[in-house]
Chain A
Amino acid sequence: MSHAEDYTFETKLLHNSHKFDSTTGAVSVPIYHASTFHQPNFDQFGKYDYGRSLNPTREALEETISDLEEGSRGFAFSSGMAAISTAFLLLSKGDHVIISEDVYGGTYRIVTEVLSRYGIEHTFVDMTDLDSVEEAILPNTKLFYVETPSNPLLKVTDIKAISNLAKKHDALTFVDNTFLTPAFQKPLLLGADIVLHSATKFLAGHSDVVAGLAVVKDEKLANRLAFLQNAFGAVLGVQDSWLVLRGLKTLSVRLQQSTSSAQKIAEFLSEHPSVKNVFYPGLKNHPQYELQQKQSTSAGAVLSFELNDENAVRQFIENTQIPVFAVSLGAVETIISLPAKMSHAAMPEEERKKRGISNSLLRLSVGIENTNDLIKDFSFALQVSPEVSRI
């Protein structure tokens, strides 16, 4: 008899329904490269027929993420944007979306440049302000789209409150859970309908696979998304599915190290005279600190901070030794990015400024390196930065 349902999250990462292969006992999930499957019965076709529709390796990942998010069904896509775009296809012409104003630039691009062409309307709001969310509701509002903490300003949205509001208006709630992962936050348990992930980030964790995931709780909604996944076909390949599964095994230890470092780095930066602002929901002065504590078990491993000006940013980047200066986040390696020119370059400057994404804002995704090595590195790089007057 198994007591698998009682396992803690960190054990579930290693022991789930795909703990070993039933044919050979293999403890690592086999990679099935097959694009097609033999049908032994003329009258009744088997579970697997064509690789786009279902593949055992991708299925293992889909079941694993569904289990971790406590949903009923998981879906793996070829990228985070493929997951998000496919989920948006649940909408129809004439529908209206309410969306976090400082949403990821790629999502912003899809909503403003693609969905708009299909006749799907949108309103960007500050999701942390429930009054303005309510004001934005229209009779045709069908979806509330939340990123929390948001990218790159780490604003925290009350998932439960938004889901309740959505339910009242017969609309759906999608939550992008990329920054925290189910290790720290489970949106489906807080009332969301679909959880979305860029699994490229913390879930896979090694800067070596591009992938997206979606998890749904409601069976009818799951069937609709399954139809779209197969029809649209932006599915994840089998090698990448396997790499994400492999990455998931160390999710817990990676996040523990990265978040513990992120907290210390956020505190270090907050006290540094050359740093203007630090955005991290693990800091007590963060406007939604209490909410973050309530709906999640950690503030995560991503933080943003602002230096005096673009020149200070340039000097800082040129003087750091350990981090990679690159787009993306959620890796074992620490990554620094410049949202204005990277993740949010798709957003017009005017829009960026309105959202507080200045040209001297840096986003830091803390890796698993030694904490003191990172702080030493930043301390050195900041020496050359001018002191700033605190806001």
Chain B
Amino acid sequence: MVQIDTKLAQIGNRSEVTTGTVSPPLYLSTAYRHEGIGQSSGYDYVRTGNPTREILENAIKELEDGDQGYACSSGMGAILTVLSLFQSGDELIVSSDLYGGTYRLLEQGYKKWGLQTHYVNTSEPNEIIHAINSKSKAILIETPTNPLMQQTDIQKVATIAKEHGLLLIVDNTFYTPYLQKPLTLGADIVIHSATKYLGGHNDVLAGLIVAKGATLCENLALHHNGAGAVLSPFDSWLLIRGMKTLALRMDKHEKNAKTLVDYLENHDAITDVFYPGKGGMVSFRIQDESCVNPFLQNLSLITFAESLGGVESLITYPATQTHADIPEEIRLKTGVCNRLLRFSVGIENSEDLTKDLEQALAKVRQEVTQ
């Protein structure tokens, strides 16, 4: 058995014997010829299956130690596909500190269709148990959470889920299988916004699902093909290309993040720093709300943009960007206040990043005190 970094570098290699190609071929074909009635090559129509997408799906399945992988047109496409497993009258238990897009889908979409969601602090197992009732069907957690980096003990929650016959769905976007494998800790389904670390270059929109168990996998395959939020062959190919360097990128993201956490913790204009100890995501609170805009405007290296997990450092303002769809009252209650910034630390030189923060914070001080 080779290590995960070896597996990553080798994704798609030896995928076919006809030519011996090292880079997996990009099949754009939407249809496949049949030899005769009932004779299929295994591929019929691109939405159902595509050789390039299949390489990606098998790779993420292996990396997450699951039974089957599914590539979707976006992270939200992956969540939508998973939510297709439920029906009107079912109830979900979801991390209260979660991505605004998931919240919006649940509240403005699925609520209308009869799916009720209870938001709890999933890092407190008792809160989960308290929320379970006869209609509960699944627990959906993000760990670490976005943007407050709270960690949930997957194994503990998995035990609770099993005891009550619930599915455990884990959003593994922030850590990726390089740092965390929820299926080996008892989860049933892992979802990813692969747009982030897995893709890694801020240039492909994609979602991934990995599941364990034959029946569950069959059901997901049905909805994946049925609803059709599938990933295009070209984006599948780009994602494979990105994943090859995941280990190196993540090592560098983490190393840089640790240096910056250290820097931010010792800066008197920063009141709080949230870092779960692994990975490349850091959130922090700046002293005063009036500092936020000048700080963002004065950054010259780090880009102020929505998204994360790319090689370039990005800072996001959750209040108006990723979490804008969560009502202010709820947002403030969970700690996503108007002083909070989320930092996706890139793979640049850490001193260059520190210098950029230093000069931006110094200018903010000048501007605010003037």
Contact = CB atoms under 8 A, between A and B. Distances in A.
A45 interface: no
Contacts of B13: 324, 333
Interface stretch (B113-121, B123-131, B179-187, B346-354): B346-354
A206 B5 contact: no
Nearest to B247: A368
Interface size class of B (residues with CB under 8 A): 35 or more
Nearest to A326: B22
Contacts of A367: 9
16 contacts: A3-B359, A9-B349, A11-B348, A19-B303, A27-B312, A28-B203, A246-B203, A249-B201, A250-B347, A253-B252, A254-B248, A326-B20, A332-B9, A333-B22, A368-B244, A369-B3
B271 interface: no
Contacts of A332: 9, 244-245
Contact of A253 (B9, B23, B248): B248
B245 A331 contact: no
A10 interface: yes
Interface in B229-280: 241, 244-245, 247-249, 251-252
Contact of A369 (B10, B305, B348, B356): B10
Max count, chain B CB within 10 A of own CB: residue among A1, A4, A20, A257: A257
Given A28-B203, A332-B245, A373-B6, A249 B311 contact: yes
Interface string A1-33: 111101111110011000110000101100000
A369 B5 contact: yes
B235 to A, nearest CB: 13
B355 interface: yes
A373 B3 contact: yes
A374 B10 CA distance: 12
A208 interface: yes
Interface string A341-372: 00000000000000000000000000111101
B102 interface: no
B25 to A, nearest CB: 10
Contact of B23 (A14, A25, A207, A335): A207
Interface in B308-322: 310-312, 314
A322 interface: yes
Given A7-B301, A11-B352, A15-B312, A206 B247 contact: no
B6 A370 contact: yes
B178 to A, nearest CB: 12
A10 B349 contact: yes
Interface in A312-326: 322, 324, 326
Nearest to A27: B202
B330 to A, nearest CB: 30
B51 to A, nearest CB: 16
The 10 closest A-B pairs by CB, nearest first: A208-B23, A28-B203, A370-B3, A369-B6, A253-B248, A11-B348, A8-B349, A11-B352, A207-B22, A373-B6
A19 B312 CA distance: 9
B300 interface: yes
A40 B9 CA distance: 47
A250 B22 contact: no
Interface string A213-252: 0000000000000000000000000000000001001101
A114 B10 CA distance: 38
A378 to B, nearest CB: 13
Nearest to B353: A11
Nearest to A253: B248
B2 interface: yes
Contacts of A6: 352, 355
Given A3-B355, A27-B305, A253 B347 contact: yes
B256 to A, nearest CB: 10
Contacts of A324: 13, 22
Contacts of A9: 349
